[in-house]
């Protein structure tokens, strides 16, 4: 029995019905929503078959997507969805900067590629993933490496994008996952 299996076994045997029901219903809602979007049929028989198959999927794979929902899992999801519009706005702003750089005739004088190391205090895996992907999506910066201590190596195209970096994005990411203390 591997460690993960043991953990699952413990979770099931110690009987936390709330967590199990939460992950089951979230998976079920996701599966059925996707089914409705992708099928586009609204006949009663097909709807029933869709309900049945998403029920089966959610029943068997409830540990897969939302494996261990914390008590404030829904709160984190809510804050995450509030973060996305800000991220898209930031991506658009930075994209225009990169577009300006690309079409500038003297581009090679303006860019100054270098690697910066940022120390963040992030500890949770999900927050490190979110931070790394946000950095990569924001043009001008690419995450090269990130480790468990929350140290990021970032390749940035010019000084301006490197200086803007740890600031607001880090604060927002830390707030989503409740790491700002």
Which residues in this chain contact another protein in the complex, by CB under 8 A? 36-38, 40, 42, 88, 91-92, 95, 98-99, 102-103, 107-108, 111-115, 132-133, 136-140, 142-145, 155, 157
Taking the least distance from each CB to another protein, the nearer of 45 and 102 is 102
- Other Cβ atoms less than 10 A from the Cβ of 111: the count is 15
The distance of Cα 21 from the centroid of its chain, to the nearest Å, equals 23
Question: Is 172:134 a contact under the CB 8 Å cutoff?
Answer: no
Question: Smallest Cα–Cα separation from 24: which of 64, 71, 74?
Answer: 64
Least separation, in Å, of the C-beta of 8 and another protein? 26
Measured at the alpha carbon of residue 27, what is the angle toward residues 22 and 33, in degrees to the nearest 5?
A: 125
Please say which residue, 57 or 144, places its beta carbon nearer to another protein: 144
Nearer to another protein, 33 or 60 (CB): 33
Q: What is the 3-state secondary structure (H, E, C) of 94-125?
A: HHHHHHHHHHCCCHHHHCCCEEEEEECCCCCH
Closest approach of another protein to the CB of residue 45, in Å: 18
In whole angstroms, the minimum distance from the beta carbon of 156 to another protein comes to 9
* Minimum gap (Å) between residue 102 Cβ and another protein: 4
Contacts of 23 (CB under 8 A, 6+ apart): 62, 63, 65, 66, 67, 69
Smaller CB separation from another protein, 22 or 151: 151
Considering the complex, what minimum distance in angstroms separates the CB of residue 143 from another protein?
A: 6
| Nearer to another protein among residue 56 and residue 115 (C-beta) | 115
């Amino acid at each position: 029995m591997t460690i993960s299996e043991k953990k699952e076994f413990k979770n099931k045997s110690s009987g936390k019905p709330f967590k199990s029901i939460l992950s089951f219903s979230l998976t079920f809602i996701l599966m059925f929503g996707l089914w409705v979007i992708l099928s586009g049929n609204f006949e009663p028989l097909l709807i029933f078959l869709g309900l049945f198959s998403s029920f089966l999927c959610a029943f068997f794979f409830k540990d897969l997507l939302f494996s261990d929902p914390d008590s404030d899992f829904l709160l984190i999801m809510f804050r995450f969805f509030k973060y996305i519009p800000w991220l898209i706005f930031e991506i658009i702003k930075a994209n225009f900067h990169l577009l300006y750089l690309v079409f500038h005739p003297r581009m090679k004088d303006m860019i100054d590629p270098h690697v910066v190391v940022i120390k963040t205090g992030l500890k949770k895996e999900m927050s490190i993933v979110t931070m790394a992907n946000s950095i990569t999506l924001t043009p001008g910066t690419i995450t090269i490496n990130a480790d468990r201590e929350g140290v990021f190596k970032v390749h940035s195209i010019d000084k301006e994008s490197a200086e803007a970096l740890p600031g607001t994005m880090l604060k927002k990411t830390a707030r989503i996952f409740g790491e700002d203390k």
